[in-house]
């Protein structure tokens, strides 16, 4: 029996879709423990986990797509998904139905099952998600530009991971440590001791391989955490800024706008719960 083709919004009660000449971008939320049985999609996709998680069964194995996970699914690849206890908020990009050129350019991205983690790509995807909510005549143009740029950055990341530039295990451990302690006062020496390298090597490898310093990486993590917290109606901007470790609200707002292209107040006016 043939596995059924389904839309990428299957099981999502709230979603937004923007179609452009070359791309289709979908921002979708899946509720707690939502189960999506074995299915396929007629077109390949690139996904980013913005918040929550999916456990996905694909190619005979179980994969956890958690916050900052980025992944690809080739066209007609059989898989199944289960959302986490807090659900899953995802951004999905597919080549438009008539846009064979995008699929061809990114064949190395779309023709394999790949899974990586990237706070940088999640940040870019959050900005794209916010743009999907804008209802003016320029929105499709902006969405297309941001979406194509995101695919290009993902292709570069996946290519680097597949070939000669694989990260050393201790660098992945350092990233995990910073994820776990990003809201605390993190000291470079403490991170280095935790993974067993000298602080200077840690700093150098971060800059060389991830293109950010450890401090910039933590700042991006805090801003991404703040973006999720701002979606909650009980949270105030001042409270989120303080809990994220920023010394005042204006400093927080300036950095938030720089990272997401929109002020915290405007971000709050488009909460994901209204998708």
Domain ranges of the chain: 14-162, 169-274
pLDDT over 50 (residue 181): yes
Return the beta strands (E) in 40-173 as ranges.
Answer: 45-58, 61-65, 69-73, 79-95, 115-117
Burial category of 67 from C-beta neighbours within 10 Å (exposed 0-12, middle 13-18, buried 19 and up): buried
Decide if 97 contacts 41 (C-beta within 8 A): no
Residues near 262 by beta carbon (within 8 Å), at least 6 away in sequence: 127, 130, 256
**What's the pLDDT tens digit per position in 84-125?**
998 999 999 998 876 566 656 666 777 888 888 888 899 899
| Strand pairing category for 45-58 and 69-73 | antiparallel
pLDDT over 70 (residue 5): yes
Query: If you ran DSSP here, which 8-state letter would residue 40 be given?
Result: B
Q: Is the dihedral of CA 249, 89, 260, 109 positive or negative?
A: positive
What pLDDT sits at residue 199? 87
Q: Which CATH superfamily is domain 169-274 in?
A: Homeodomain-like (1.10.10.60)
pLDDT band at 144 (very low <50, low <70, confident <90, very high): very high
Q: Which CATH superfamily is domain 14-162 in?
A: Jelly Rolls (2.60.120.10)
Residue 27: half-sphere exposure toward Cβ, Cα within 13 Å: 23
Closest CA to 43 of 73, 85, 68: 73
pLDDT over 80 (residue 166): no
pLDDT band at 274 (very low <50, low <70, confident <90, very high): very low
Query: What's the mean per-residue pLDDT of the chain?
Result: 86
What pLDDT sits at residue 162? 65
pLDDT band at 32 (very low <50, low <70, confident <90, very high): very high
């Amino acid at each position: 029996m043939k596995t059924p083709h389904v839309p990428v919004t299957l099981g999502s009660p709230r979603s937004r879709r923007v179609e452009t000449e070359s791309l289709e971008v979908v921002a979708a939320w899946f509720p707690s423990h939502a189960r999506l049985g074995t299915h396929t999609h007629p077109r390949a996709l690139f996904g980013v986990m913005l918040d929550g998680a999916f456990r996905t069964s694909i190619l005979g194995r179980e994969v956890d797509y958690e916050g900052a996970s980025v992944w690809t699914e080739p066209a007609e690849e059989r898989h199944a998904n289960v959302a986490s206890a807090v659900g899953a908020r995802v951004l999905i990009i597919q080549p438009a139905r008539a846009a064979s050129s995008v699929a061809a350019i990114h064949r190395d991205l779309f023709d394999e099952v790949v899974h990586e983690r990237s706070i940088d790509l999640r940040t870019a995807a959050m900005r794209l998600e916010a743009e999907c909510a804008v209802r003016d005549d320029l929105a499709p143009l902006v969405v297309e530009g941001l979406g194509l740029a995101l695919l290009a950055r993902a292709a570069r990341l996946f290519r680097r991971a597949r070939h000669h530039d694989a990260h050393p295990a201790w660098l992945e451990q350092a990233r995990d440590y910073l994820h776990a302690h990003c809201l605390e006062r993190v000291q470079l020496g403490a991170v280095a001791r935790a993974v067993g390298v000298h602080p200077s090597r840690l700093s150098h490898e971060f800059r060389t391989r991830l293109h950010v310093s450890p401090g910039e990486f933590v700042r991006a993590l805090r801003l991404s955490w703040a973006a999720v917290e701002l979606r909650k109606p009980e949270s105030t901007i001042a409270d989120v800024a303080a809990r994220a470790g920023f010394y005042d609200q204006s400093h927080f707002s300036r950095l938030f706008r720089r990272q997401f292209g929109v002020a915290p107040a405007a971000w709050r006016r488009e909460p994901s719960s209204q998708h």
